[in-house]
Amino acid sequence: MTQEQIRQEVIALQDMGHKRLLLEAGEHPRHNPIEYILECIETIYSIKHKNGAIRRVNINIAATTVENYKKLHEAGIGTYQLFQETYHKEHYKELHPKGPKSDYDYHTEAMDRAMEGGIDDVGLGVLFGLSLCHYDFVGLLMHAEHLEALFGVGPHTISVPRICPADDVDPATFTNAVPDDLFLKIVALIRLAVPYTGMIISTRESPRVRGKCLEMGVSQISGGSRTSVGGYVIEEEKEENSAQFETSDRRTLDEVVKWLLDGGYLPSWCTACYRAGRTGDRFMTLAKTGEIATYCQANAIMTLKEYAQDYARPQTRESAAKVIEAELPKIPHEKIRKASVIRLKKIEEGERDFRF
Ligand code: SF4
């Protein structure tokens, strides 16, 4: 994509109400060099359309060198995300007999190099269903433990993608496919084993499974995702499908937000921590003790208010107002609570981007 095409995509995302995005790129060394990725990041952060802004660019690109991770860190990325696909070495090698991903050790040690390059928010994940899920579950936890032992910082997020249909993938051909009940157990066990981490579920899963996953401890959920290249400006024709995977949850972002609000959740667009330098071990200390909740609660309320003012349909705005009223008294610190009330008023008057 050209920078102009990226600009149009970002404006489309901002107009939906998004405040963070995940930049994904293929592994082609010539078509996707690090300079191109850095240019894209700069473009994304530079776009301010109406009240919109992408405040956190997370990155999902192929394993690379410490030098390149340093460059990504200097570009101000949020989380660096890289999925292992499978921790089972033999199976991994069968799946990647050649090409840039074929070196299992280089791929598996990417997060170590990212940490050495200064990126201390990293996101792990396996593709459940590729290999035996029990093996990958243990591999994932061992990876988290390894990062914590070596760098004092465990994974900032863990994603739980599962094999699903794509234009060239039929899940029936994967004998290790994970059924819903087992998948939900895995989600619950990851939550218990790594209580401080953010857990992510994508629109690969159906609304029903996503709802169950929230109950099991998933804390981050995407909405209105399009997985084809340039898909936010022009939705791709089915027969020209370049989508990375098919989405099961096809609701708009606003429909997902309303669903969350009516389900008793407090949706948040907060990106405060990395912008306030609360990353790595600083973040981990606050997350492990639960102290982070003070910031999260206030920031969630303010960013929800922003969303309601700028992007929500009337019925969503109504649900948001009820949730804000119910959640405001739950901010534990009086000083932050009082400041939040003042800031909510200022948001109504047109000011934006408050954070604690
Ligand atoms: S304050 Fe809470 S919600 Fe906001 S970025 Fe930090 S951890 Fe996430």
Render pLDDT for 16-73 as a digit per residue (tens, 0 to 9). Answer: 999 999 999 988 888 899 999 999 999 999 999 999 999 999 999 999 999 999 999 9
Q: Is 115 helix (H, G, I), strand (E, B) or coil?
A: helix
Ligand 1 mean position to 271 CA, how many Å? 6
Ligand 1 mean position to 95 CA, how many Å? 37
Instruction: Name the strand (E) or helix (H) holding 199.
Output: strand 198-201
Closest atom of ligand 1 to 268 CA is 3
- Which CATH architecture fits 3-251? Alpha-Beta Barrel (3.20)
Residues in the chain, pLDDT under 70: 165-169, 236-246
CA-angle at 34, arms to 148 and 241, nearest 5°: 95
Beta bridge partners of 56: 20
- Which pLDDT value is given to residue 239? 56
Show Cβ contacts of residue 110 under 8 Å, excluding neighbours closer than 6 positions: 63, 64, 82
- Which pLDDT value is given to residue 167? 64
Strand 157-159 relative to strand 198-201, pairing:
parallel
Which residue puts its alpha carbon closest to atom 3 of ligand 1?
Answer: 296
Contact 3, 43 (CB under 8 A): yes
Q: Where in the sequence of the chain do the CATH 3.20.20.70 domains occur?
A: 3-251
| 166/274 Cα distance (integer angstroms) | 34
- Which pLDDT value is given to residue 219? 97
Ligand 1 mean position to 119 CA, how many Å? 17
